[in-house]
């Protein structure tokens, strides 16, 4: 086991259910300095686990473990933190409660403060759902977080994004083997279908037009890519876990809590942290328009656009060096402010 | 029955199977004049039947039955022309042969020439897969077709479009009730899932952002729209029919035949007809880049772009008057040339 568990006890969630013996899995890199002011929090993305965030870390990079104490907390539902597939009955499987970004970030805040005694965070950053958690950090703890860099994500899941995810969910749950979550054997047909639905969304029209899958990634054909990359991305993950995280994503809204009562503009304007928001010109479910709106309402934010044809996957998980460098450069710029 | 059947006998298809007693269902509007030079052919779109093309027809419109003899041929597989669900055994259901745009247009050409003795066609036009057939008409019969106006479609189905359709197919076929096409009861769960996958693709991010579904279409909520519009679009159609047409769409390529042997540029450059190609800025599976490429290689073509946030559905089926007028105006301009 290459990670730690923060035992959070019984946690009452926004949905008014209790996550009993809540576990937050995390991994740290580097050393917390004596002033405890070299902290970076870097949450995970949809279905990703901490080791799938590590591509952005390294000596000489912005996220340099020689300089910073980097905490990667695993999203609830991702199979390492409390999830449908690792929670004992009766709250297991289809009975795992709904969790929000708010619930996740509150728990991460407890890890940071209770476990490590940290009072200020230099930077929160993340891709996709990791970006969602990043915005949530900024809106919940504006005095604690100095910098944020959400990349290819949003502070509030758009209606179109919700619809895209409804398609993903419908494909997964069309498989009778899913059995409303009470499967003994995994619904592999549905999981594979989900990967195929995702395939058109995750990348861009131009990515496929230029045959990056074949020319740069080395797949033999489109079908080879659909199976080898997209079906592979999901079919070995747990269906209930995926549906839990999908629900979290669909509900994403930094203002849906007792601080902002659904006032999205107010929540955005409360993010005092200096921010670089990275948007993707070819991201099909987090299009630039939504990030432009956010940055207009955030007092200290700058928008940077990547034109990468890797679409949403320009933000991760580190498949294309040019994209990695783009994010790394932005993080370095931000950390230098 | 508000349509006619052209009995084409046994037709050998590109796939080297024989479509026995092939039936082409069609409907005509207006009167063929004595010179037989007032003919418009207007093929159908994915899953659509002839009556779902009628929104573009009318007195005072470009497609005016008082002036033109308008033929709407139904796509093979759409349930009215020969299809998996109306072909007798042993070539029914999962054994219905693969048909291409080429097969469709060859059959339509026989209808036009054998049944009506027509030698020249004023205009071929169509939306989406109807556009695919339109390009195919132009490339197969360059001396016969005076004008073409394909809207929100392509002459060759792009790889990204193929991937989008793989997602649609995967959702439909994830339902065990599909039984590899040998269902007795329809796989309604899969058909509904297919509608949900389609929902994100058919319209645009901006459509959902501006809540057109609620504000203009009158749905009570997003979920109301997903069920009432998207699930409704497919769940009462036949699954094998949908898969037959999907295959036709995925194989779309005007050059894949004995005339052009896969030389796409040559096929495009052979389209002598004066053309207006209508492209959609927000069309997520027929993006402008592909149409721009086409028009560059077509000798007599002009590109017109609609910025409608209705995405692909800016091309049909007549849900938004501004979009209808845009197409109608373009057709009038073209017919005046």
Max Cα–Cα distance, chain A, nearest Å: 55
Task: Say how many CA atoms lie within 13 Å of A185 toward its Cβ.
Answer: 5
Residue A22 shares a structural domain with residue A117: yes
Residue A187, φ and ψ in degrees, nearest 5: -80, 75
Nearest CA distance, A53 vs chain B (angstrom): 27
- Residue A16 domain-assigned (yes or no): yes
Q: Give me the percent of chain A exceeding a pLDDT of 90.
A: 99
Residue of A51, A57, A46 whose CA lies nearest to A25: A51
Q: Say whether both A189 and A93 belong to one domain.
A: no
For residue B80, give both structure tokens.
């009215």
Give the Cα separation of B181 and B123 in Å (integer): 37
Name A41's Cβ contacts closer than 8 Å, sequence gap at least 6: A70, A71, A73, A108, A112, A121, A123, A124, A125, A137
d(Cα B62, Cα A301) in Å, to the nearest integer? Answer: 51
A254 is a domain residue: no
Q: What CATH number does the domain containing A109 carry?
A: 3.40.50.1820
Q: Over the range B93-125, which residues count as b (16 or more CB within 10 Å of their CB) and which as e?
A: beebbebbbbbbbbbbbbbbeebeebeebbbbb
Q: pLDDT at position B287, please?
A: 98
Q: Nearest-CA distance from A205 to chain B in Å?
A: 5
Nearest to B170 by CA among B192, B190, B153: B190
Contact assignment for B200 to A226 by CB distance below 8 Å: no
Chain B closest-CA separation from residue A194 CA (Å): 8
pLDDT at position A193, please? 98
Determine, yes or no, domain membership for A88.
yes
Look at residue B1 in the predicted model and tell me its pLDDT.
Answer: 85
Co-location of A173 and A303 in the same domain: no
User: Could you tell me which residues are beta bridge partners of residue B301?
Assistant: B275
Q: Is A307 buried (19+), middle (13-18) or exposed (0-12) by CB count in 10 A?
A: exposed
- Residue A323 — pLDDT band, cuts 50, 70, 90? very high
Length of chain A: 337
Average pLDDT score, chain A: 98
Domain boundary among B245, B276, B310: B245
Q: Which domain holds residue A18?
A: 4-157+260-335
For the residues A94-107, what does the mean pLDDT come to?
98
Q: How many domains does chain A have?
A: 2
Q: Which of residues B218, B245, B272 is at a domain's end?
A: B245
Question: In this structure, how many other beta carbons lie within 10 angstroms of the beta carbon of residue A66?
Answer: 11
CA B30 to chain centre: 22
Whole-number Å distance between alpha carbons of A49 and A72: 9
| Active-site residue set of B | 128, 283, 312
**Six token digits for residue B200:** 């994100």
Strand-pair category, A69-73 with A18-29: antiparallel
A19 plus A114 within the same structural domain: yes
**Residues of chain B neighbouring A174 (CB-CB closer than 8 A):** 171-172, 174-175, 189-190, 192-193
Question: In chain A, positions 262-291, which contact chain B (CB-CB < 8 Å)?
Answer: 284-285, 287, 289-290
Complex prediction ipTM: 0.96
How buried is B333 (Cβ within 10 angstroms: 0-12 exposed, 13-18 middle, 19+ buried)? middle
B19 and B114 co-located in one domain: yes
Determine the Cα–Cα distance for residues A168 and B163; give it in Å rounded to an integer: 14
CA B168, B170, B176, B181 dihedral sign is positive
Classify residue A307: in a domain, yes or no: yes
pLDDT of residue B92: 97
Rounded to whole angstroms, how far apart are CA atoms A73 and A87? 18
Beta carbons of A289 and B196 less than 8 Å apart:
no
Same domain, A143 and A280: yes
Give the pLDDT confidence of B25-84 residue by residue, as tens digits: 999 999 999 999 999 999 999 999 999 999 999 999 999 999 999 999 999 999 999 999
Q: For A192-258, what is the HEC assignment?
A: HHHHHHHHHHHCCHHHHHCCHHHHCCCCCCHHHHHHHHHHHHHCCCCHHHHHHHHHHHHCCECCCCC
Q: How far is CA A110 from CA A26, A81, A317, B303, in A?
A: 12, 14, 27, 58
Query: What is the rounded distance in angstroms from the CA atom of residue B106 to the CA atom of residue B109?
Result: 5
Q: Are strands B145-151 and B274-280 parallel, antiparallel or unpaired?
A: parallel
Q: Is residue A12 assigned to a domain?
A: yes
pLDDT at A320 over 90: yes
**Which chain A residues contact residue B198 at CB under 8 A?**
167
What stretch of H or E contains B123? strand B121-127
Residue A246 touches chain B, beta carbons under 8 Å: no
DSSP conformational letter for A283: -
DSSP state letter for B124: E
Instruction: Check residue A123 and give its pLDDT.
Output: 98
Using the structure block, give the residue that is written with the tokens 């009861």: B185
**CATH at A232:** 1.10.1740
Instruction: Just list the catalytic residues of A.
Output: 128, 283, 312
In this structure, the answer to whether residues B61 and B88 fall within a common structural domain is: yes
- Is there a single domain that holds both residue B117 and residue B166? no
| Interface contact flag, B171 A176, Cβ < 8 Å | no
In a shared domain, residues A151 and A165: no
Which of B112, B56, B49 lies closest to B245, judged by CA?
A: B49
Looking at the structure, tell me whether residues A269 and A198 fall in a common domain. no
**What residues form DSSP beta bridges with B57?**
B63
B positions 151-210 inside 8 Å of A (CB): 158-160, 162-164, 166-177, 189-190, 192-193, 196-201, 204-209
In a domain, A252, yes or no: no
pLDDT beyond 90 at A1 = no
What pLDDT was estimated at residue B208?
98
> Tokens in use for A156?
């509030």
Peptide bond into B90 cis (omega under 30): yes
Query: Are residues B145 and B26 located together in one domain of the fold?
Result: yes
Give the end of a domain, one of B245, B264, B293. B245
Residues whose CB is less than 8 angstroms from the CB of residue A6 and which lie 6 or more positions away in sequence, other chains included: A23, A24, A25, A26, A107, A110, A111, A114, A115
Distance CA A95, CA A103 (A): 17
Distance from CA of A2 to the nearest CA of B (A): 35
Other C-beta atoms within 10 Å of A321: how many?
9
Residues B275 and B318 in one domain: yes
Distance of CA A204 to the CA centre of its chain: 20
The one-digit pLDDT tens for each residue of chain B (337 residues) are 899 999 999 999 999 999 999 999 999 999 999 999 999 999 999 999 999 999 999 999 999 999 999 999 999 999 999 999 999 999 999 999 999 999 999 999 999 999 999 999 999 999 999 999 999 999 999 999 999 999 999 999 999 999 999 999 999 999 999 999 999 999 999 999 999 999 999 999 999 999 999 999 999 999 999 999 999 999 999 999 999 999 999 999 999 999 999 999 999 999 999 999 999 999 999 999 999 999 999 999 999 999 999 999 999 999 999 999 999 999 999 999 9
Decide the pairing of beta strands A69-73 and A39-41: parallel
Answer for the pair A124, A138: CB distance below 8 angstroms, yes or no: yes
CB contact at 8 A, A335 and A122: yes
């Amino acid at each position: 086991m290459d990670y730690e568990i923060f035992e959070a006890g019984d946690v009452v969630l926004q949905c008014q259910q209790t996550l009993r013996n809540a576990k937050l899995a995390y991994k740290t890199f580097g050393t917390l300095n004596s002033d405890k002011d070299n902290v970076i929090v870097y949450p995970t993305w949809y279905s990703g686990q901490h080791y799938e965030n590590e591509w952005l870390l390294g000596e000489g990079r912005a996220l340099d473990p020689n300089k910073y104490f980097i905490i990667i907390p695993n999203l609830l539902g991702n199979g390492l933190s409390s999830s449908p597939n690792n929670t004992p009955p009766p709250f297991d499987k289809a009975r795992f409660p709904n969790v929000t970004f708010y619930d996740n970030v509150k728990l991460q805040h407890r890890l940071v403060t209770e476990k490590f005694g940290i009072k200020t965070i230099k930077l929160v950053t993340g891709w996709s759902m990791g970006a969602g958690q990043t915005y949530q950090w900024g809106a919940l703890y504006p005095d604690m977080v100095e910098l944020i860099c959400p990349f290819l994500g949003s502070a509030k899941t758009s209606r179109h994004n919700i619809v895209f995810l409804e398609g993903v969910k419908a494909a997964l749950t069309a498989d009778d083997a899913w059995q409303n979550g009470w499967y003994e054997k995994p619904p592999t047909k549905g999981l594979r279908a989900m990967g195929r639905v995702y395939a058109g969304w995750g990348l861009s029209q131009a990515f496929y037009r230029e045959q990056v899958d074949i020319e740069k990634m080395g797949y033999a054909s489109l079908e080879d890519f659909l199976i080898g990359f997209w079906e592979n991305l999901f079919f070995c993950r747990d269906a209930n876990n995926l549906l839990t995280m999908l629900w979290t994503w669909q509900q994403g809204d930094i203002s849906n809590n007792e601080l902002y009562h659904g006032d999205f503009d107010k929540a955005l304007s409360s993010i005092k942290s200096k921010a670089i928001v990275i948007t993707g010109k070819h991201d099909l479910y987090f299009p630039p328009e939504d990030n432009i709106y956010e940055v207009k309402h955030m007092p200290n934010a700058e928008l940077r656009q990547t034109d990468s044809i890797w679409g949403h996957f320009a933000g991760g998980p580190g498949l294309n060096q040019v994209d990695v460098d783009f994010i790394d450069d932005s993080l370095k710029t931000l950390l230098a402010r």
